[in-house]
Homo-oligomer: A and B are copies of this chain.
C-alpha cells in the first residue's frame, strides 16, 4: 500500500513542482539569445539564470515588452513571429507568425492589446494580449517603424515610405481604432522614440538630416524639426550602423545621443532642440544610457570598439571610466534603481554584471550570443 500511495503521490507532486515555490516577478528579466531563437529568464537578486525557453524563431533583431503583472514577455522577432513567454513557468504560451518581416511592438497601457509594426506587408497589426488573436489590422501603405505605446489605449508609429506618424486610439473600439495621421514628418523615418511621459515622440530620419518631434498633448500635433544637422556629415565617413533612437537618453533637461559615424556623444537642450556640446569617446556610440538617477551615462560602441564601455559624468560631461567588460557588448540594462548594470557580451557567450558605484564586476551568467536584456520593471513604464 505504501508503494501504491507513493506512486499516487508521485502523480501529484510534479504538479506542485510545476507550480513551484511562489516567487515575485519584480526582479526577473529576459535575455535574448539572438543566434539560437531562445531567451534566458534571469533573476536579478540572485544574479542567475532560471531557465531557457526555445523555439522563438529568428531573433537576430528582436525586442520584447512585458504584461502589467510582469509575468508574460511578448517577444517580437525579425521573422514576423510574435511569441508569448510565461517567465514564471518557463513556457512558450503562444506563438504566431503574423507578418513576413517585423520590426518591433508595444503593449497598451491597459495591458489588453499588443501591437506589432511590420516591414512586410507594412502597417500595424494589433492582437489580444491574452490569446494573441488578431483584433485589428491597420494597413498604412508603408513599412512602419518606432511603434510605441501612448497613454489611453493608444499607439504611435512612423511610416518609412510616406514620412508620416499615425496615432491609433483603441479606447472606444479596440477593433476599429480612431486614427490621427500627421504628414510632413520627413524623408524615410528609420526609428522613433517615446519619452517616458508619453508626450513627445521623436522620429529619426534616414532620408535627410535632423529629427522630427511631435507633441502628443496637442489636439493636432505639428511636426517640429530638432538638431537640424543630425545625421551623416561626410560622404566618405563609414557609418557602421544608424544608431537606434533607443540609444538616446534624457538626463535632466538635456538629451545625450550618439553622433552618427563620429566618435562623439552629442548633448542637446530638450526645450530648444539645439546642440549644446560634444564629448569625445572611444568609438562610434550605439547606446548612450542614463543610470536611473541620471548622474552617469553608460556608452557602448559599434565594431571594432564593441569590447569597450565608457561612463560619462552627466554634470561635467567628461568620461570618468573606461571598462572592458567583454567581447561584443551589444546592450546594457540597469536594475530599476540603478544599483547594477547588466551587459550582454555576445562574443563571450555571457552576460556580465557590474556594480555601478564601484565599477567592479559582481557576477556573470552564461548565455548563448546574448543581445537585448530586458528587466520586468519595464512593464510599468510608458514607451518601453
Q: Say whether A15 faces chain B, with CB atoms less than 8 Å apart.
A: yes
From residue 5 to 51 of chain A, which have CB atoms closer than 8 A to chain B? Answer: 5, 8-9, 12-13, 15-16, 19-28, 44-45
Q: A357 contacts which chain B residues (CB < 8 A)?
A: 152, 171
Q: Say whether A253 faces chain B, with CB atoms less than 8 Å apart.
A: yes
Q: Say whether A247 faces chain B, with CB atoms less than 8 Å apart.
A: no
Judge whether A45 and B24 touch: CB under 8 Å.
Answer: no
Residue of B nearest to A110 (CB): B339
Q: Say whether A237 faces chain B, with CB atoms less than 8 Å apart.
A: no
Judge whether A109 and B199 touch: CB under 8 Å.
Answer: no
Residue of B nearest to A195 (CB): B293
Q: A20 contacts which chain B residues (CB < 8 A)?
A: 19, 22
Q: Produce 1/0 per residue, A142-164, CB < 8 A to B.
A: 00000001011100000000000
Distance in angstroms between the alpha carbons of A22 and B50 in the assembled complex: 15
Q: Say whether A56 faces chain B, with CB atoms less than 8 Å apart.
A: no
Q: Say whether A88 faces chain B, with CB atoms less than 8 Å apart.
A: yes
Q: Say whether A197 faces chain B, with CB atoms less than 8 Å apart.
A: yes
**If the complex has contacts A8-B8, A111-B45, A357-B152, are A69 and B339 also in contact, measured as CB distance less than 8 A?**
no
Distance in angstroms between the alpha carbons of A260 and B335 in the assembled complex: 38
Which of A94-102, A276-284, A374-382 lies on the face that meets chain B?
A374-382
Q: Say whether A189 faces chain B, with CB atoms less than 8 Å apart.
A: no
Output the least CB separation between A6 and chain B (Å): 9
Distance in angstroms between the alpha carbons of A357 and B27 in the assembled complex: 31
Judge whether B197 and A293 touch: CB under 8 Å.
Answer: yes
Distance in angstroms between the alpha carbons of A16 and B20 in the assembled complex: 8
Of the four ranges (under 10, 10 to 19, 20 to 34, 35 or more), the interface on chain A belongs to 35 or more
**If the complex has contacts A5-B5, A8-B9, are A26 and B151 also in contact, measured as CB distance less than 8 A?**
no
Q: Say whether A235 faces chain B, with CB atoms less than 8 Å apart.
A: no
Judge whether A382 and B197 touch: CB under 8 Å.
Answer: no
Residue of B nearest to A151 (CB): B293
Q: A217 contacts which chain B residues (CB < 8 A)?
A: 295, 315
Among A12, A21, A22, A376, which residue has the most Cβ atoms of chain B within 10 A?
A: A22
Residue of B nearest to A11 (CB): B9
From residue 355 to 384 of chain A, which have CB atoms closer than 8 A to chain B? Answer: 357, 376-377, 379-382
Output the least CB separation between A346 and chain B (Å): 27
Distance in angstroms between the alpha carbons of A19 and B152 in the assembled complex: 35
Judge whether B1 and A68 touch: CB under 8 Å.
Answer: no
**If the complex has contacts A197-B293, A295-B199, A376-B26, are A68 and B9 also in contact, measured as CB distance less than 8 A?**
no
Contact of A19 among B12, B22, B199 (CB under 8 A): B22
Q: A379 contacts which chain B residues (CB < 8 A)?
A: 26, 336
Distance in angstroms between the alpha carbons of A2 and B261 in the assembled complex: 74
Judge whether A45 and B68 touch: CB under 8 Å.
Answer: yes
Contact of A24 among B13, B88, B149, B152 (CB under 8 A): B88
Q: A24-B72, A45-B111 are in contact. List 16 more A-B contacts (CB 8 A).
A: A1-B1, A4-B5, A8-B9, A12-B13, A16-B16, A25-B25, A25-B26, A26-B68, A26-B71, A27-B70, A44-B68, A109-B338, A151-B292, A152-B357, A153-B339, A199-B293
